[in-house]
Structure 1
Amino acid sequence: MGIRTLAVSGAAVAVVALVAIRSLPGDPASPPATPVATTDAALPPTMGQVASDDDTTAASLPIPSHLRGVAVDGGVDVDRNGSLIVNRKLKNLFHHMIGMAEGDPARLSGVRESLKTWLLEQATPATAQDEVMAAFDRYMTYLEAASHVQLPSQSPGDLERVYQTLALLRRQHLGQVMAEGFFAEQEALDRYTVEQRRVLADDTLSPDERKQRLDALAQQLPESLARPLAQTRKISQLAQDTESLRASGASQEAIDRLRTERFGPEAAERFRALDQQQAQWKQRLVSYQAERDAIRADSSLAPEAQARAIDELVARRFSGTEVLRVRGLGNH
């Protein structure tokens, strides 16, 4: 089947991630009833993002004005008849358009029109344009349904039930072809995650047996997932080793040397910048929480007035995706 690429994939920008929260060994447990559908666009960046530096290809978006001149992640592929091919590139394009709205309701309302205009600018065949817009509408319906799915705990049983629920919702709202085109790799990773948690929770295994089973699970993943997973495990191990160094009183120079040995000098610089961003973010959170708690402790304010005051405080202290992050952390 002939494929004509209508856009060039780039680095992900702000992405709506429909995955349950996954913590590698050593990560803190998530709070009860964690919403599964979250907006993964909050600052600061993760360690995984600073360990690599992808280039993007700029493409001009016609509307709205705040999208002009940004790099487009994703695209549309069509077959020789001009019909849409449903794949990850299309999903990435949807994520890009949604993410660029930065959680702003005013911008979200224009996402569909922005996508339609972008398709026209790319000279997308008429048949494929209609198919893309229909797929986008189905995807938005799925996102809404998935946003109500909650993860009670990080136990393998709860993870498996949530992943099964999401898989059913995908096929219900997207259909089998679109669900597999968008989520085949994600669902393979979900299955891996469940089995990984079972191995980690098995107290009958020795450390060597546990490592062997985890390695065997990783080998079952497709190559497209195995490489990122290996990188993730390296980063997770670096995070644990970094914390151990800090706990032992090691200097920043020693930590920088470790990071340089593992990922090179440029990544070490990015890790250090990330440390500073995270420290600043924590300071902002602590300051906000103190003011929020003072509002809650003010008995002269009715509950409704307290809620309004806290909303105003959030609006003053945070912007865009930061607001979503504060709410996602249960700090609202």
Structure 2
Amino acid sequence: MARKKYAPWLAAIAVSVFAGMAWMLWPAAETEPPQWPDHEPTSSYSTLGRHWQQPVQTGSNANTLSATGVAPPNDLGNEDNAGASAASIDLDQLQHALAHIAVDEQGRLIFDEVALASLRRAFEQFSELSDPAMVTQLKRYVEAGLAGETGAQAAAMVGDYFRYREAKASAEALWEHQENPDPRQRLEQLAELRRQHLGPAVANQLYGGEQAHQRYLLALAELRRNPDLAETERQQLRAQLRSDLRDGKFLVDDRGTDAIRQLANDSQHWQEQGLTEDTRHYLQDQTLGLVSARSLATSQQQKNHWQQRYDQFSERRDTILLSGLTDPEKVRQIDQLLGNHFSGDELEAARTYLPPHMRQ
């Protein structure tokens, strides 16, 4: 069940991931063109294009956002906007780029690989944009075209993505001057920037699959470079890496904790204990989610505290699993146990580590 669950997202993002690997192996900035997945958003969902109501604008450049900004719908053409510089954004292109982002029944955006490709395409036309005031006007335009929570969420997404791009550009400028850069360290620094500027949940939903493939490819490269391995051992380890990718273990950053490495032994013990397949997958997802939530810790002291709490939780979870209770009762007690060891923010991060569109 877990393997089937993760399988659909592997092919969907493989092309864009391989195209974007160069930035990790060399210090050049990310330059890959937006890659559109081969599938359409889930048919039960609507899209931003269907929700969009064109704001009423005036003036000869009503479809252009200038470097001095475009006012909200009723203020377009205001004299304060005169003298715009040559830098501008074609609003029709922006609207078209964002139109494919899916929206659920409650009007909330679905941050899947289509959303990520849409953002990349939308920002491609103004890659040099660095004026926060212009971004503010851009957000106001998006919010004016989309009603209610959908508009507010879409506008926030545009602003957050702009700030992330700015932070990413600054980080890449520093990386260019580093000698012998560590690709894995760069990847995790970039993942941290995404969590910081997009929020942990949105960052996971937009980039979780891509980051998983990048960690997998880096692990493969490290395996190939190891001169001490016999070919048979190398093939076995390569097969294990593929299995780990399918099982979602590369979706989280496991540096500094052995929880993921221990998961293989735990999974075998759970099977020997006679736990059902559903219960074993529940426990695996739980472990991966909790390790993902560890990223909320910003200091080594906080990371050490997380490890202490995780070890205590794991020990007490094992006690429950070894009891004679039914599997549903074990799950109920473990769910209750989680709240005794982890904060609400950590539990939310653990719950959302696997993007909804990957839960198939």
Compute the TM-score of the two structures, normalised by the length of structure 2: 0.40
TM-score (norm 1): 0.43
Q: Decide which structure has the larger Cα Rg and report it.
A: 2
